[in-house]
Structure 1
């Protein structure tokens, strides 16, 4: 019996396809009427990509959050800069410890008569020094004792002298100086100078002419005579011509004398020209005596250039923050938010900007920012008219101080304000004094944990609203004293910017929340990717089984076709 196969003409094609599929990721299957190819890699990747779609969507959200975090950090940094730049204007306490712009001092010196003020006197003034005017005359400046010896022919040849002598300044310590015969004039100088820290006497060599050298001794302190005595051996200084046969100094180049001067009509004497104990916080450096009939006129006042500089810095920093805010409010031509405006419509950013502008619109003590020369230009940028500022600083410095800085006063002269702090408060301070008149406690509303008391000093504790505030109490009885504080424009903006930009401020809170969200979403993305990888491994194994089964079936089919064809031919 002959059996014919309708598919015998395709058998060679099928065998060829089966052979080629075994070496690739696709397999050709053949039947009686159809042929198809399966791309296993594409099938697997398609299924895995479906799983990864959510991870991609989440990653997009993470990227958007990161852009917001960067924008918030930019605003935060700009606010920190604004805050730090205002710290010197936020308080106005005037004492030796104050570092604000209102406590800085500048001194001017002029002269009446035929004398150069700068040639006769220089001076420096510390923060918090009392302002005012003074007159000064200098009768004589303090000088150090200076003596010299006779001419020697060489400074390097051995002198041949051997002896010990004592050297020092009157009223001070002395030291024994030992000279040996092999020492030169230079060696003597070096040996004397090795003991200068003890003796306060320096030695030097002056070359008078070629082959002529003189030893010079100089006291390192003014108004003190050099003392000398030979102890043993050769009288070294006598041999060098510094002393005569009686032991007295032979040549006195400069006598030791104290400074004599008159300040505001009071005659004063000091043993140095660097005088620090006449006016608190003021150092005078007397340079030369003033001629008879001449006077040095000294004026000490607030260094207003520091206030001007701080206000210029404020304008720069305010505009920088404003620019950072505006960068988040840009729109496209169709009115939609620009892609770079990742914080478009952000309420926190808007509230802070509005608060800053509200402070600048207020008045304190009857003055406004316009009185300082501050205004907004046509671009709504803050600018400073230095001419207007200079005028008000020279005519109404107290008003400027009140307008800008924190002010704290008390209802009792027995309670003095040492520091207002950066966040001054108004309250009633209850003071407790024991039977011996010692201050033992300071409380507000019955709470004594808000202040630290040490002797007569009262300091607000860190972490409380009174932190930074400090007082001294000179009373001897228990009493309640009212403390009143006001806040100027600089104080308010300083506090607002510092709070918003702090590690616990509104911007940091938003940054932390977004960071936390990103951490959660990133973990979810990693979980999805991990699950997708596992899924891909499972599909690969599963489809490999499918492929093997199909290949086995094709092989069987090929075999059956060959068998049928063989039977037909017989």
Structure 2
């Protein structure tokens, strides 16, 4: 204890340190025990809230991956390409099992044009409007006085990058040229430059050698992709084609090999995705069970080695209990599908401890006999599907302004208050120890004086008695 040293009073023989320690403990031990108990309980609650929020975040992250629109996890069909250097393919639930033969004659291309040549990239450019056309759209770049070819390039990139237009300067043997590119592919999307600045005008429908000013397209005009699907001719302004085959999206990546004008086709296969669906459903079950087990640990009642009950950090916590009920309620709600409306139809059932079990045999029957594969996506990822309803159930608790964040903020304030109480108590202990030690030291000194006086008086009387006997 602060300020107390082991000592015995010289005048009284009293153990001052022990007396002071006992008195200080009697005055402060109850409060100290209260603060210690409340701090431990509050710290456990903070830890429990943090662990619960981490578990909820992990669960919602897993749900987000299963609900990714760009790479759907619950497609009833899987499509594969025999040569992804020519075409990559993805499927949706609208696909039809079968094979397709795809030959790509050429990819869709965009426009790239070059201006007339200049002596250098620092050549002065007249002020005026530079109107850049791409297909039916046009964009105006207002060139100010004192501009150079370089500053015009920089201005185009700054102002028109958002529109898919970029500029650069290429220095060739005949001088410097401003080169413009567009991200818009397809026939008719050629770049043209008109306006007030004659030196920058470009007719993008002709080559540089065809135009009198030496400006024009660099390699060719923008063109559509050309391909055949099972021998049927298809054209597309882009290399991503989603309307040619029902349920399939084709990403053209290169031209097919050709010989004598004949292009070698690539085989695309579409088949039932039962294994992929099973993996995705199992991922949902695993993520849900991980969350349930985490909550179970936080709310469990166990026994220690002596048989005493040990409560989890969130045992009997009303917020956690409410959260658990809301999450479990989602599983019991009926889906909006035509034939598939519940998880039990896929072999998913709730066990006594709240976790899910997945019966793969029953799932196989649902896929192969009942043909429910095409409806799984709607059950899980459709608007108001299981994953969206799970998110709606969890958000009020785990959002940045949710009830758990509010609880954490309140607990942090309590922790700060308890810490301040602890410091105040320590100051009182130190002050009380100093005061009592001083008081008992004074008492000891006074007792020492009284003892010395008593000894002196005793000596006087003993001397008088001895003198009386000798007289």
2:299 aligned with 1:325: no
The 8 Å contact of residues 349 and 356 in structure 2, kept in 1 or not, is answered as: yes
Deviation at 1:370, TM superposition (A): 1.5
Gaps of 5+ in 1: 1-22, 30-36, 110-116, 143-169, 176-190, 199-224, 228-257, 408-486
Question: Equivalents in 2 of 1:42, 1:514: separation in Å?
Answer: 38
* 1:312 and 2:282 are equivalent in the alignment: yes
CA pair 526-302 structure 1, distance change in 2 beyond 3 A: farther
Q: Which residue of 1 aligns with 2:40?
A: 63
| Alpha-carbon distance between aligned partners in 2 of 1:278 and 1:332, rounded to the nearest angstrom | 61
Question: 1-side partners of 2:341 and 2:352: how far apart?
Answer: 23
Contact 1:65 / 1:514 at 8 angstroms: preserved in 2? yes
Q: Name 1:402's counterpart in structure 2.
A: 378
Q: Deviations over 1:100-148 (max 9, x none)?
A: 5468995324xxxxxxx439844255x9898568854548679xxxxxx
Match of 1:123 in 2: 88
Contact 1:90 1:406 in 2 (8 A): no
Partner in structure 2 of residue 42 of structure 1: 18
CA distance in 2, matches of 1:87, 1:270: 33
Alpha-carbon distance in structure 2 between the residues aligned to 1:269 and 1:298: 18
Counterpart residue number, 1:355: 326
8 Å Cα contact 1:275/1:283 also seen in 2: yes
Distance (whole Å) between structure 2 residues aligned to residue 336 and residue 488 of structure 1:
46
Shift in Å at residue 496 of structure 1?
1.5
Number of the residue aligned with 1:534: 431
- TM-score, scaled relative to structure 1: 0.50
Aligned residue in 2 for 1:567: 464
Contact conserved, 1:79 with 1:498, CA < 8 A, in 2?
no
* Whole-angstrom CA distance in 1 between matches of 2:15 and 2:344: 77
TM-score w.r.t. length of structure 2: 0.60
Q: Whole-Å Cα distance in 2 between the matches of residues 326 and 376 of structure 1? A: 15
Contact 1:136 1:295 in 2 (8 A): yes
Tell me what 1:9 maps to.
none
Alignment length (residue pairs) = 362
Return the alpha-carbon distance in structure 2 between the equivalents of residues 44 and 361 of structure 1: 66
Give 1 or 2: higher helix fraction: 2
Shift of residue 542, structure 1, vs aligned partner: 1.6
Q: How many angstroms apart in 2 are the aligned matches of 1:543 and 1:138?
A: 104
Helix, strand or coil at the partner of 2:258: coil
Within-5 A mapping of 1:90-239: 101=73, 107-109=79-81, 117-118=82-83, 121-125=86-90, 135-136=100-101, 138=103
Contact 1:134 1:263 (8 Å CA) reproduced: no
Please show how residues 500-515 of structure 1 align to structure 2 within 5 Å: 500-515=397-412
What is the rounded CA distance, in whole Å, between the counterparts of 1:103 and 1:82 in structure 2?
21
Q: Secondary structure of 1:345's match? A: coil
Q: Which runs of 5+ in 2 are unaligned?
A: 1-5, 118-171, 180-206, 210-223
In the aligned structure 1, how far is the partner of 2:367 from the partner of 2:88?
24
Give the corresponding residue for 2:257: 288
CA offsets per residue over residues 46-68 of structure 1, 9 Å max, x none?
11111221122221221122112
Q: 1:275 to 1:345 in 2, by over 3 A?
A: closer
* Alpha-carbon contact 1:329-1:337 (below 8 Å) kept: no
Aligned counterparts of 2:313 and 2:84: Cα–Cα separation in 1: 63
Instruction: Tell me which residue corresponds to 2:156.
Output: none
State the Cα deviation string for residues 290-328 of structure 1 (Å, max 9, x = none).
897986554579978776554333322222222223323
Structure-1 residue corresponding to 2:50: 73
**Contact conserved, 2:86 with 2:104, CA < 8 A, in 1?**
no
Change beyond 3 A, Cα 1:528–1:24? closer
Change (3 A) 1:519 1:260: closer
CA distance in 2, matches of 1:511, 1:565: 79
1:52 aligns with 2:28: yes
Q: Structure 2: how far apart are the matches of 1:542 and 1:498?
A: 62
What residue is the counterpart of 2:341 in the other structure? 367
Measured in 1, the distance between the counterparts of 2:319 and 2:227 equals 64
Residue pair 1:139, 1:289 contacting (<8 A) in 2 also: no
Structure 2 residue matching 1:38: 3-state secondary structure: coil
Deviation at 1:80, TM superposition (A): 1.8
The superposition leaves residues 71-118 of structure 1 with CA deviations (integer Å, 9 ceiling, x where unpaired) of: 222122112211222124568xx7xxx565468995324xxxxxxx43
Q: Structure 1, residues 491-529: CA drift from partner, whole Å, max 9, x if none?
A: 222221233222333333333333333322332232222
Tell me the SS of whatever aligns to 1:504: coil
Relative to structure 1, the CA distance from residue 277 to residue 171 in structure 2 (aligned partners, 3 Å threshold; closer, same or farther) is: farther
In 2, Cα distance between equivalents of 1:561 and 1:309: 102
**C-alpha displacement of 1:45:** 0.9
Where in structure 2 are the equivalents of 1:407-486 lying within 5 Å?
407=383
| Alpha-carbon separation, structure 1, partners of 2:104 and 2:63 | 46
Shift of 1:41: 1.1
| Structure 2: distance between partners of 1:24 and 1:370 | 77
RMSD over equivalenced CA pairs, Å:
5.0
Pair 1:357–1:334, CA change in 2 (3 A): farther
